[in-house]
Amino acid sequence: MADKLLMISVFVTLTYLKVIPFWIAAVVVSRDLILSVGVIVIHVAGGTVHPSPSWLGKASTFCQVTTVVSAMLAYYFKILPGLPRGAAWVMAFFTVASGLQYLVQGLKQLNPPADPLQDELPAEHDQLRS
């Protein structure tokens, strides 16, 4: 959780300093906000969320860190007038894709597949009652 807050604060700070465009920070912040709201909704509905780490989440984090480092280096050394657009779009793609993946994982945990043994339980209970 602390690493996500750190990443959000870095993107907000870089946006405030006009090092990166606003839409990049909006993608990162909105993804984490949507995931947090999704976890709260699933928890209120009676489910639990245990997202497992995936290569997509790790790729998203790698792209976000790469974007931050390249933006800071470009700003400090005045190498580029701004962040390369290709890198920003790749980061945005992986960020959105990993967010969707986590939501799908949470929804699968909310509605677990039906257990075939549960269909037999009512019949057994009826036999015990008679």
Q: 17-41: per-residue pLDDT in tens? A: 888 889 989 998 888 888 888 778 8
The verdict on residue 129 lying in a domain is no
Structure tokens at 20: 């990166």
Task: State mean pLDDT over 69-91.
Answer: 77
For tokens 């790469």, the residue is 66
The verdict on residue 128 lying in a domain is no
Fill in the DSSP letter of residue 115: P
Residue-number span of the structural domain to which 42 is assigned: 2-111
The verdict on residue 14 lying in a domain is yes
Residue 49 CB neighbour total at 10 angstroms = 18
pLDDT band at 16 (very low <50, low <70, confident <90, very high): very high
The verdict on residue 116 lying in a domain is no
Distance between CA atoms of 54 and 35, rounded to whole angstroms?
A: 15
Using one digit for the tens of pLDDT, what is the confidence trace for 97-124?
888 888 777 777 665 555 555 555 555 5
CA terminus-to-terminus distance, the chain? 54
Residue 83 has pLDDT above 70, yes or no: no
Determine the pLDDT at residue 120: 54
Residues 6+ apart with CB under 8 A from 12: 25, 29
Distance between CA atoms of 116 and 72, rounded to whole angstroms?
A: 56
The verdict on residue 122 lying in a domain is no
The verdict on residue 47 lying in a domain is yes
Total structural domains within the chain: 1
Count of alpha carbons within 13 Å of 99, Cβ hemisphere only? Answer: 19
Picking from 63, 75, 66, 57, the residue whose alpha carbon sits closest to that of residue 20 is 75
Structure tokens at 65: 């860190």
Predicted TM-score (pTM) above 0.75: no
The verdict on residue 17 lying in a domain is yes
